[in-house]
Chain A
Amino acid sequence: MFGIFDFMRKSSDSRQVAKDRLKLVLVNDRMNMQLLDNIKYDIIGLMKNYMDIDEDNFYISIVHKANRSTGIKTPMFYANFPIKKIYKS
């Protein structure tokens, strides 16, 4: 019954819906990568006050992992940076 009327109905313009959803998703995706980069440079800046670190092999990421005590999965921040030398205080 509805099939015939659906066919005659004006188009839903899902193209625009797709574009809008995509743009929103991409803002989120792109910002997250930018955010991680910003955090990375801030940490490098901070660490430099105390030690000489290998910036080329500095690696950070956010992963979903279960908390050891609670077992609940939460996003966790991971940072790996080889230390070349720790400055004497």
Chain B
Amino acid sequence: MTEIIVVTSGKGGVGKTTTSANLGTGLAMMGKRVAMLDADIGLRNLDVIVGLENRIVYDLIDVVEGHCRLKQALIKDKRCDTLFLLPAAQTKDKDAVDPEQMQKLCTSLREEEFDYVIIDCPAGIEQGFRNAIAGADRAVVVTTPEVSAVRDADRIIGMLNANGLGSPKLILNRIRPQLVKKGDMMSVEDVSEILAVDVLGIVPDDESIVVCANKGEPAVLSDNSLAGQAYRNIVKRIAGYTVPFLDIEKKSGFMDKLKKMFTK
């Protein structure tokens, strides 16, 4: 059975695409058959984050409009042979597809017997959002511990509920434990309590994410990335395992000690 998960946030720049790339890659690393679908028509980026930008021949719009078969447009990942990407079109805009066509596309993906389909939703609450959620079974909401991002997440959670995607799970991204401790950043508990949703995972603010994005290799592939570890835990939870939350405070304390050792 295929499970279709849409990764959404409302606000832009909180880490939807990075999260989609890491969830997709992480699940594939567990041996699952995964398709990542970039629903950000006109502003595609998932291809660059996973380093497959040079292999694109056909895109989502080509499939929807029948210019090619679904299998032709699915790009096989360089590192995981059970991972595929369906890139967004770069030259069209969000009105080029409608929710009904997206539902059909999701049905076709189910027929390809994927274990998981990860949909990277565009920012905003308009047509692109409605397209991305149309065929999904469940939703993951990404936010950061900032007033603006949490506010938008609240709006998105309301819209997901209204569209039959009740009880979405939360990923809190870019947590900085030192700031939380100092009383200058909202904690995981603060955000989950305000939004009244279950937390799927917490991802610390980690420089390795920048390096990974530069290289086009999701952090989940790198053993010494703290964010990568956080994403590995999240994919295990998605696959049904119980994994305790990453102790980011302890870990970053250790990293700080390491850094001090090298800087001294």
Q: Which residues of A contact B (CB under 8 A)?
A: 11-16, 18-19, 21-23, 25-26, 29-30, 33
Contact = CB atoms under 8 A, between A and B. Distances in A.
Interface in B140-176: 145-147, 150-151, 154-155, 158
B66 interface: no
B187 A22 contact: no
Contacts of A18: 145-147, 185-186
B158 A13 contact: no
B183 A19 contact: no
A54 B182 CA distance: 55
Contacts of B184: 11-15
Nearest to B193: A19
9 contacts: A12-B184, A13-B183, A18-B147, A18-B186, A22-B150, A22-B151, A25-B151, A29-B154, A29-B155
A22 B183 contact: no
Contact of A30 (B147, B158, B180): B158
A6 to B, nearest CB: 13
A26 B154 contact: yes
Contacts of B147: 18, 21-22, 25
B194 A19 contact: yes
Contacts of A16: 183
B95 interface: no
B154 A30 contact: yes
A14 B151 CA distance: 17
B256 interface: no
A19 B158 CA distance: 19
Contacts of A23: 194
Contacts of A14: 183-185
Given A25-B147, A26-B194, A19 B186 contact: yes
Given A14-B184, A29-B154, A30-B158, 7 more contacts: A13-B183, A15-B183, A15-B185, A19-B186, A19-B190, A22-B194, A26-B151
A21 B158 CA distance: 19
Contacts of A30: 154, 158
B156 to A, nearest CB: 11
A25 B153 CA distance: 13
Contact of A15 (B150, B154, B190): B190
A57 B3 CA distance: 30
A23 B190 CA distance: 11
Nearest to B181: A11
A52 to B, nearest CB: 25
A8 B185 CA distance: 18
Nearest to B145: A18
Contacts of B185: 14-15, 18
Query: Which of B145, B154, B158, B183 has its CB near the most chain A CB atoms (within 10 A)?
Result: B183
Contacts of B180: 15
B182 A11 contact: yes
Contacts of B150: 22
Nearest to B155: A29
Contacts of A11: 182-184
Nearest to A15: B183
A84 to B, nearest CB: 24
Nearest to A21: B147
